[in-house]
Homo-oligomer: A and B are copies of this chain.
Amino acid sequence: MITTAVQEDLYPSRTSSQPEWIPRKDPVVHSEGRAPSTPLTSELVADFERDGFISIPSLFSEEEVDAYWTELKRLSSKREIRENGSTITEPESGDVRSIFNIDRVSEVYNRLARDPRLQNVVRYLLNDDVYIHQSRVNFKPGFRGKEFYWHSDFETWHVEDGMPRMRCISASIALTENNEFNGPLMLIPGSHKQFISCVGETPADNYKSSLKKQEVGVPDESSITRMADEYGIRAPKGPAGSVTFFECNTLHGSSGNISPYPRSNVFFVFNAVSNALVDPFCGRDPRPEHIANRTDFTPLKPL
């Protein structure tokens, strides 16, 4: 008898004309019993389980952040970085909005990704070796930083990239202060425990516009309202060097930024090696490699 290796779709989305809530089928904290290691305390583990995110102020020092900026300036001035197809620009001004693959183009950022302060957190919570599904630096400029509407990263990564399960954590390392005025990350604590199946169909090459303004894979307003009414909204604040770890299914978004102050961050998506990508569940061609790494699942070596 021949068995086919078709992966079951536990979280179907964009397949129906009605939104649906599907209870989470995966653990939030995948480890049990082992004592957490620095900087992850038992209390933070409990917070992550309940809220779907934790924020640790000043996990990296001012001096370290300065070094990340120095490296960023070096990279931004390099023509091959600006023009290599994995750099995203603002729709109107043409300013650089994101540089993808930052851990591959920079030794400094590669070492940051493997820093024990990040690795100890994600390896414990995921109870596995991890590889980088996506990495980028977001420049959110002052005066004209654009909003990012509410979404679950997992919804997109599952449907468009073929990430099978919820066993993936993002780390956002602040390169500038996050304050109430510069469009900080807003999260709905507890939202990671439900998968909101979105309405609509995935168009071909959706990524070309969705990274600038997302229009498919967007939760319905009624679901967002219900979640916010029940759980509230939170926006971690803190100095540069603070880190927010958030679960791949936690609903989040950010407002535009008219303040004079940029809101820049480094963003690493750490996926469990046991959760490596399969074919996209929407049946479309996969997105480009710099948006969804599907060729190299080699575990990161923690420093």
Contacts and interface: CB of A to CB of B under 8 A. Distances in A.
Interface of A: 142-143, 147, 149-150, 180-181, 183, 186, 221, 224-225, 228-229, 233, 235, 253, 255-261
A183 B255 contact: yes
Contacts of A221: 142-143, 260
Contact of A235 (B149, B180, B186, B235): B180
Tell me which of A255, A256, A257 has the highest count of chain B C-beta atoms within 10 A of its own C-beta.
A255
Contacts of A147: 256, 258
Nearest to A261: B228
Nearest to A256: B256
A91 to B, nearest CB: 15
17 contacts: A142-B221, A142-B225, A147-B258, A149-B258, A150-B258, A181-B255, A186-B258, A221-B260, A224-B260, A228-B259, A228-B260, A229-B260, A233-B259, A253-B258, A255-B255, A255-B257, A255-B258
Given A180-B180, A255-B258, 10 more contacts: A142-B225, A143-B221, A150-B258, A180-B235, A181-B186, A225-B260, A228-B261, A253-B258, A255-B257, A256-B256
A259 B258 CA distance: 17
A258 B98 CA distance: 22
A142 B229 CA distance: 13
The binding surface of chain A is classed by DSSP as: loop
A182 B253 CA distance: 13
Contacts of A253: 258
Nearest to A259: B233
Contacts of A224: 143, 260
Contacts of A235: 180-181
> Closest 3 interchain pairs by CB?
A225-B260, A255-B255, A180-B180
A180 B256 CA distance: 13
Contact of A181 (B229, B233, B261): B233
Tell me which of A143, A259, A261 has the highest count of chain B C-beta atoms within 10 A of its own C-beta.
A259
A180 B254 CA distance: 12
Contacts of A233: 181, 259
Nearest to A186: B181
Contacts of A186: 181, 258-259
Tell me which of A229, A253, A260 has the highest count of chain B C-beta atoms within 10 A of its own C-beta.
A260
A220 to B, nearest CB: 10
A261 B142 CA distance: 24
